[in-house]
């Protein structure tokens, strides 16, 4: 299903087709004039995302969420180790119970 974004202002509104992978937006002014803004190419969207991620990791672009991302990865790595140890001990827990046990254990470390 196609997605469309609309942003409304006092003197105009903007329509963005194929949101969030749009490569153009149309500004509709109250006086009836229309302006098209073109930027980038939607076919290159994955390349843009990869470039932005690489730049964020290198530290050349500000990224406040990278710290939280690495924290989550560390927690998931710890959970995977705990679950592997519990599996070796033949605990007969369901997956959600293992998740809870790992979560509780991580909070105590």
Q: Cα(82)–Cα(99) distance, rounded to whole angstroms? A: 10
Q: Cα(85)–Cα(97) distance, rounded to whole angstroms? A: 14
Q: Where are the beta strands (DSSP E) in 1-109?
A: 4-8, 12-17, 24-29, 34-38
Phi-psi region of 13 (alpha: psi -120 to 50; beta: other; left: phi over 0): beta
At 96 the pLDDT is 62
Rg of the chain over Cα atoms, rounded to whole angstroms, equals 23
pTM: 0.43
The rounded average pLDDT for each run of 10 residues, N- to C-terminus, in the chain (109 residues) is 82 85 87 89 76 77 69 79 76 61 58
């Amino acid at each position: 299903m196609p997605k469309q974004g609309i942003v409304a202002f006092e003197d105009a509104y903007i329509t963005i087709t194929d949101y969030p992978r749009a490569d153009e937006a149309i500004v509709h002014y109250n006086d009836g004039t229309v302006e098209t803004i073109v930027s980038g190419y939607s076919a290159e969207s994955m390349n843009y995302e990869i470039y932005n991620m690489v730049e964020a990791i290198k530290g050349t672009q500000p990224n406040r969420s990278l710290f939280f991302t690495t924290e989550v990865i560390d927690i998931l790595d710890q959970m995977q180790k705990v679950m592997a140890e519990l599996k070796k001990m033949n605990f007969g827990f369901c997956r959600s119970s293992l998740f809870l046990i790992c979560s509780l254990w991580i909070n105590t470390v």
